[in-house]
Chain A
Amino acid sequence: MSYYFTILSTRDTPLFSLALGTAKAGGDSTPRFPPQALQLCPYLLHASLDFVDEAQFANPAMYLKRIDAFASASISCFITPTSTRFLLLHLPHAPNTNPQAGMGEGRGFGPFVPAVPMNPASPQAEEAVRQFFGEVFEVWIKAQMSPFQDGEGKLGSPVFRERVRAAGRKYL
């Protein structure tokens, strides 16, 4: 399983992006995206924003769960109370191997394979992503406490990046 995580501001500006790999099932936490797929990730995340906008006021929870899918990849969303969006794209594949490329929709996103460990639709995966988002939310709040950081500012702190990476290693 490989992940692509992005924080988007209320005005849809990307403030932070990080590619993560699974650390579960013997994974080495290295993201394994086919090169074209990695470039496509920001587009897929932005494309899911329509669904986020729809769900934002229909569902008062912060964790909106799985909101969108593209071929084998699916996208989970967490929305902070001040409408900053955390989006996570999951690309399921067997641990420590490159995902099958060139199938289905092409560009590295193969067809949906539910047999792979950590099926993104499973309750366990949902719970893991919820915990990951919860941890990132806490770190994000701490970042917001800085008077020099506003909701539209890039989250460039290396400590922040390290904390998000650690949360990924812990839960994903």
Chain B
Amino acid sequence: MATTLPLNPGSKPLPPPQRSTPQSSKSTPQQQPQSGGLRVPSNRKTIYDRNINRTRTAELSRASFAYLFGEMVSYAQKRVTGIQDLERRLNEQGYPIGLRLTPLLLHRLSTPTAPQPRPTRILPLLQFIANPLWRHLFARPADAIESSATNPKEYMITDNEPLVNQYISVPKEMSQLNCAAFVAGVIEGVVCGVLGGQGVGLAAQLYGGENPDQPRDPPAVVSAHNAGEEGGMWPGKTVFLIKFSDDVMKRESNK
């Protein structure tokens, strides 16, 4: 499901470019790993030498993000058949980010004495998305977490003013399109990463389930919907609808 994309969307998981001055030439030869043919950056610092805990000052500029995201939308718009297809492509661009951010953020939340548990149940998982994940991506928590009144499998995360939509003007004939499908993809990456372990393994594929020929449903499907009212307080309000699979609900009720 997760595909490696030519663009690394948002480039959020990547550490910021090295700003420090290059090291003195004296210390560099010792740092070079002994391996033939390995290309290392000119400052001899591989990604493994960087600090995993990003500092507050290392935030990305909003202008560059807006530009990059605009390019991502136009990239996704090439050769699409409709709005659904475009949203699916944006979703796929966000998915790997969610998969990568989950371990990174949980690691940053952990302390050596109190390791953070994996959010394997629905409520802690939604709280993880609405708080640490949202704070990391948008520097503020999400505006609401709700459960659907009609369908127990559905949960909603609300953002009153998604950053991704701020600089995107959607033409009238495409009024259904919500480019926050990209963020929905990030959420889907998190949810499927955390809940998708069992049932995607080889053993589960071979022997698990009532019908082994049929591939299992993904643990959750996430979509972005416009929920703003014209003239209301939040015209750009977006609801991320998370629809969990039966397997997840069954596991949730077992405990």
Range of interface residues on A (Cβ < 8 Å):
35 or more
Give the CA-CA distance A142 to B200 in the complex, in Å.
24
User: Please, which residues of chain A bring their CB within 8 A of the CB of B50?
Assistant: 142
Chain B residue nearest to A153 (CB atoms) is B4
CB A63 to nearest CB in B, in angstroms, measures: 7
Given A147-B14, A159-B38, A56 contacting B197 (CB threshold 8 A): yes
**B193 at the binding interface (Cβ < 8 Å):** yes
Contact with B along A139-169 (1 / 0, CB 8 A): 1111111111011000001111011000000
Contact of A139 among B48, B198, B203 (CB under 8 A): B48
CB A31 to nearest CB in B, in angstroms, measures: 20
Given A81-B118, A138-B52, A142-B48, A56 contacting B198 (CB threshold 8 A): yes
Contact with A along B95-117 (1 / 0, CB 8 A): 01001101110110000100111
Chain B residue nearest to A163 (CB atoms) is B48
**A43 at the binding interface (Cβ < 8 Å):** no
Given A10-B197, A56-B197, A141-B107, A151 contacting B99 (CB threshold 8 A): yes
**A82 at the binding interface (Cβ < 8 Å):** yes
**B235 at the binding interface (Cβ < 8 Å):** no
**B202 at the binding interface (Cβ < 8 Å):** yes
Give the CA-CA distance A93 to B90 in the complex, in Å.
54
Give the CA-CA distance A172 to B205 in the complex, in Å.
35
Chain B residue nearest to A137 (CB atoms) is B107
User: Please, which residues of chain B bring their CB within 8 A of the CB of A162?
Assistant: 33
Given A61-B115, A81-B194, A147-B8, A158 contacting B38 (CB threshold 8 A): yes
B194-228: which residues lie under 8 A (CB-CB) from chain A?
A: 194, 196-198, 200-205
Contact of B47 among A57, A62, A63, A145 (CB under 8 A): A145
**B141 at the binding interface (Cβ < 8 Å):** no
Give the CA-CA distance A10 to B202 in the complex, in Å.
8
CB A47 to nearest CB in B, in angstroms, measures: 11
Q: Are A12 and B193 in contact (CB under 8 A)?
A: no
Q: Are B117 and A61 in contact (CB under 8 A)?
A: yes
Chain B residue nearest to A149 (CB atoms) is B4
Q: Are B200 and A10 in contact (CB under 8 A)?
A: yes
User: Please, which residues of chain B bring their CB within 8 A of the CB of A157?
Assistant: 38, 48
A11-41: which residues lie under 8 A (CB-CB) from chain B?
A: 11-12
Q: Are A60 and B118 in contact (CB under 8 A)?
A: yes
User: Please, which residues of chain A bring their CB within 8 A of the CB of B202?
Assistant: 11-12
Q: Are A141 and B52 in contact (CB under 8 A)?
A: yes
Q: Are B107 and A61 in contact (CB under 8 A)?
A: no
Give the CA-CA distance A134 to B96 in the complex, in Å.
23
User: Please, which residues of chain B bring their CB within 8 A of the CB of A81?
Assistant: 102-103, 106, 118-119, 193-194
Q: Are A148 and B4 in contact (CB under 8 A)?
A: yes
Q: Give chain A's interface residues, CB within 8 Å of chain B.
A: 10-12, 49-50, 53, 56-57, 60-63, 79-83, 134, 137-148, 150-151, 157-160, 162-163
14 A-B pairs (CB sep. < 8 Å) = A49-B201, A53-B198, A57-B198, A60-B118, A63-B115, A81-B118, A82-B194, A83-B200, A138-B107, A145-B14, A145-B15, A150-B2, A157-B38, A159-B38
With contacts A81-B118, A141-B107 known, what are 15 further pairs, Cβ within 8 A?
A10-B201, A11-B200, A60-B121, A79-B197, A83-B200, A140-B103, A141-B103, A141-B104, A144-B100, A147-B5, A147-B96, A150-B2, A150-B4, A157-B48, A159-B48
